[in-house]
Amino acid sequence: MSDIIIYHNPVCGTSRNVLELIRNSGVEPDVIHYLETPPSRATLVQLIADMGISPRELLRQNVPPFEALGLAEDKFSDDELIDAMLAHPLLINRPIVVTPLGTRLCRPSELVLDILPDQQKGAFAKEDGEPLVDAEGKRLK
């Protein structure tokens, strides 16, 4: 088991970029495909607490369940929002990365660099070509 966990959706470009940034640090993380294997309530609550955000801040808004459930309305308690994310894992924003240095929602993808214990091993550019790390493994932005 790795010291790094990524809650990953392989369809998401940001999630793919974060996974490759982790690998570029020389680590193969534990990859949890959270749409197939959603976190338990206790795990989701702990992730939210560890990130220091509210359940609402973790909600994806541009997916069908958000509109269908009326989640834009400010009438839902934190527990109700967590219930919605557990019932519809697509509502959980991603990627979430857990390392010994912290837990973070890595949007944009370069936020993962703040919590990776090891330096980047070489140059890295996002899928869209935006360079993030130079050949010496130094962060560019």
Q: Which of 3, 7, 11, 12 is catalytic?
A: 12
Q: How many residues does the chain have?
A: 141
Closest by Cα among 6, 30, 1, 3 to 112: 6
106 is annotated as an active-site residue: no
Q: Which region, left, alpha or beta, applies to residue 33 given φ > 0 means left and ψ of -120 to 50 means alpha?
A: beta
How many Å apart are CA 124 and CA 73, to the nearest integer?
A: 40
Neighbouring residues of 6: CB distance < 8 A, sequence distance ≥ 6: 15, 18, 19, 22, 29, 30, 31, 32, 95, 96, 97, 98
**Active-site annotation, residues:** 12
